[in-house]
Structure 1
Amino acid sequence: MIEENTSAFWRATLALCCGSFMIFSNLYVTQPLLPEFQQAFGISTLQANASLAVATLMLGFSLLIYGPLSDALGRRGIMLITMTGVVVTTFALAWVPDYTSLILLRALQGFLLGGLPAIAIAYMGDEFSKKAMAVAVGIYISGNTLGGIGGRLFSGFMADAFDWRASFLLAAVISLACLIVFWWALPASRHFKPQTPSIQRMFRDLTGHLRNPLLLSVYLLGGLNFFIFINQYSYVTYLLSDDPWLLSSSLLGMLFITYLTGTFAASISGRVALYLAQPLCMALGVLILISGSLILLLPSLIAIIAGLLVNSFGFFFCHSNASSWVSRQAPHARASANALYLVFYYLGASTGGFYLDPFWQFWHWPGVIAGSLLVLLITLSISLWLWRQDPRSLSQIS
């Protein structure tokens, strides 16, 4: 097994972080462009949100395929094939003739984007010791946050300097570089034990995980948290692109630098979980997310940025612990268990806009925050229930 702080640990972690950066920079590349799409194609806020929602929705559905498939066929090959497809579709997005074509290509891209997230943590579960995995998952998820920041940053700046098509061209070049590093650095699987492909067993594994109340609860927690967190960012772009702030695409992209606190939170989450029960870590993350949402109500650009910084820390601290906790709780078919967590996670991202849009239409930004708090109180309750059901999770990573 790969142990913490060995050369194999850092090489594998580097590869997975590069892959993670590639996936999430592509997933979120359209988010600073939402006002641009509104103007270029003459569409509504909800229609513009579809460029992100359709990708996250298809990513979520794809996980039901990639997770069980990798339990049978292996991890590394599937990740490489799907990442190659992402590079091709990202380049093609720069040449779409209309918004319908953009949405269709984003749907295909979303399906391909699911290859790495569905399998990466299962790969770690196979190859890393438990202690090394707790640390590696946090570092890997910090790659998620850096990808989200990077994709939104270069997207916004390229749209201001050239146009939104240039954002996709640059994303394709960066993705190709990440793919090359991933192929070179990721060690071959040594401890993977393949299962004979069986639709019946795949279905049995998935339904078995869903019948586990602890796993189902953390699936709901992760999905509902992302349901709110990612869509707050979408609506804050509409808020700040309008009076009195009138921020440009590049400045809207810079808002996502606030993800850096999430990068830090993810990187320390595994170490905190060595001393504090992971469900309590999740509850702490949700409480921080609630606090940040309340700060967002203050009518000041500085306060809004501060609120986003707090939100990012709380969300990713909770998410990192939830992801790691799923792998530890699943008695078998870890890829399927992690895939289901991510299905709920990305379904939350793709549907949260439909939930928050009526709050935006009727009560504008205060309505978005009120709708957010209603959901976050539910996820706080879930995390505390998980702690009561699984008190042995306290300091049991060893």
Structure 2
Amino acid sequence: MEDGEDRLIMPGTPVFRRTAVALAAAGFSTFAVLYSVQPLLPIYADEFNVSPAESSLALSLPCAVLAVALLVVSPLSEVWGRKPVMLASLLASAILTLVAALVPSWHGFLVLRALTGLAASGLPAVAMAYLGEEMHGRAIGLSMGLLVGGNALGGMSGRLIAGVIADHASWRLGIGTIGVLALLAAFAFWWALPPARSFRPTRMAWREVPGSFGRHFHDAGLPWLFAEAFLLMGGFVTLYNYIGFRLLDPPFSLSQTAIGAIFVVYLFGTLSSAVTGEVASRLGRRRVLWLAIGFGLAGILMTLSQNLWLVVAGIVVVTIGFFGAHSVASSWVGRRASRDRAQASAVYLCLYYLGSSVLGTAGGWFFAHAGWGGVVVFVFGLYGLALAIALRLSRLAPLGPPAL
């Protein structure tokens, strides 16, 4: 076998395209399964007689379980291999989604959603580690952007499909359809992903695992990138969790189908993640991250408008800013971590999904007590703090060209 950079995947090659297809399919499946329930939260609140904050548990609970499980599953990929762990994750989450569509009770549905989060934990951090190991430095920004773009496409499609089907048939049929699509994506992943050429399995000494996570907190930049994940995802999910409640009420009074159609703006996130990842590879992540967050801040303020088109434009701007920032920050983690990349990615994504869970549910308190204005104040504060951290990261001393 070839040594060094000769075995790394270069952009524009057939193996790069196969890898991009496989991981885009994986990202599509994971985000469709997780986030297809988001436009259905008002339906759950009505059908199961629960509050908006409690209905958000359909999304927050699996994200919380996923966040914690990442810290256990990612070290397993060091032993069992990246592809087997990712494939098992995709198959299990698809099957659990199909079963969840049939469960009659709210609490039974939440249990299955929590198990779905557990199953999905085998994909995000392991995929980031796979790209960090297999991709050449010139390909890492674009490949990570395509992975995040697959996430965006899955999030959009899952929300749109589930919302439209729920409006014309039932939410159960919508969730079941997402399960079938996730199953097809798992088979596409299995077929397309090439064998790893740089991965070397290791024996896992579990007593050493806490140290493999803890050493990343001694780095000058990684803890701040972990904080960015928590703040950015928490604010983004809060915005999407409660925008449906606002748009169902006057002066907008939109249908469930129309609200689901708004999630088409995720296409802008797909484009943004790929473009921003490529730009960051050329200009440097430190120069691009804070600009993407600032873009998101402007979009948050736009959603205060009583004009529907301005609200939708604001959602577009927030989506572009979020996926651009996430693409930059996640690829920065993969390049800055010199060892135990799966664990570094797991910590980043643990905070990412904890932000979705904790802050996404906390936003319900602001919505209940201060309406949409309260949500905007909450999310703007989170993004303002994220911007301050990004400006601090822009002054970070580089580890060298590959890291930044």
Q: 1:141-152 residue pairs with structure 2 within 5 A?
A: 141-152=148-159
Alignment correspondent of 1:271: 278
What is the SS of the residue equivalent to 1:195? coil
Alignment correspondent of 2:377: 370
Aligned pair 1:325/2:332, yes or no? yes
What is the SS of the residue equivalent to 1:208? helix
Aligned pair 1:344/2:318, yes or no? no
Aligned pair 1:241/2:248, yes or no? yes
Is the Cα contact below 8 Å between 1:46 and 1:357 reproduced in 2? yes
Aligned pair 1:139/2:117, yes or no? no
Counterpart-to-counterpart distance in 1, 2:48 and 2:22: 38
Q: CA deviation at 1:109?
A: 0.3
* Structure 1 unaligned regions, length at least 5: none
Alignment correspondent of 2:33: 26
Q: CA deviation at 1:218?
A: 0.5
Residue type at the aligned position of 1:200 = R
Aligned pair 1:119/2:126, yes or no? yes
What is the SS of the residue equivalent to 1:274? helix
Alignment correspondent of 2:300: 293
User: Identity of paired residues, percent?
Assistant: 34
* Structure 2 unaligned regions, length at least 5: 1-7
Is the Cα contact below 8 Å between 1:2 and 1:127 reproduced in 2? yes
Q: 1:76-155 residue pairs with structure 2 within 5 A?
A: 76-155=83-162
Is the Cα contact below 8 Å between 2:125 and 2:342 reproduced in 1? yes
Counterpart-to-counterpart distance in 1, 2:403 and 2:378: 36
Counterpart-to-counterpart distance in 2, 1:270 and 1:356: 29
Equivalent of 2:201, from 157, 171, 194?
194
Aligned pair 1:43/2:59, yes or no? no
Alignment correspondent of 1:306: 313
Alignment correspondent of 2:4: none
Alignment correspondent of 2:227: 220
Aligned pair 1:184/2:200, yes or no? no
Residue type at the aligned position of 1:385 = R
Alignment correspondent of 2:267: 260
* Range 115-124 or range 382-391, more displaced: 382-391
RMSD between aligned residues: 1.4
Alignment correspondent of 2:218: 211
What is the SS of the residue equivalent to 1:102? helix
1:348-385 Cα shifts (integer Å, max 9, x gaps): 00011343223212221111111111121111110111
The two structures have a TM-score, normalised by structure 1, of 0.97
Is the Cα contact below 8 Å between 2:336 and 2:399 reproduced in 1? no
The two structures have a TM-score, normalised by structure 2, of 0.95
Counterpart-to-counterpart distance in 1, 2:373 and 2:202: 51
Q: CA deviation at 1:72?
A: 2.4
Equivalent of 2:288, from 274, 281, 289?
281
* Range 276-285 or range 325-334, more displaced: 276-285
1:277-303 Cα shifts (integer Å, max 9, x gaps): 312311011100100011111111101
Is the Cα contact below 8 Å between 1:90 and 1:168 reproduced in 2? yes
Q: CA deviation at 1:397?
A: 6.9
Is the Cα contact below 8 Å between 2:39 and 2:244 reproduced in 1? yes
Equivalent of 1:16, from 2, 12, 23?
23
Aligned pair 1:69/2:73, yes or no? no
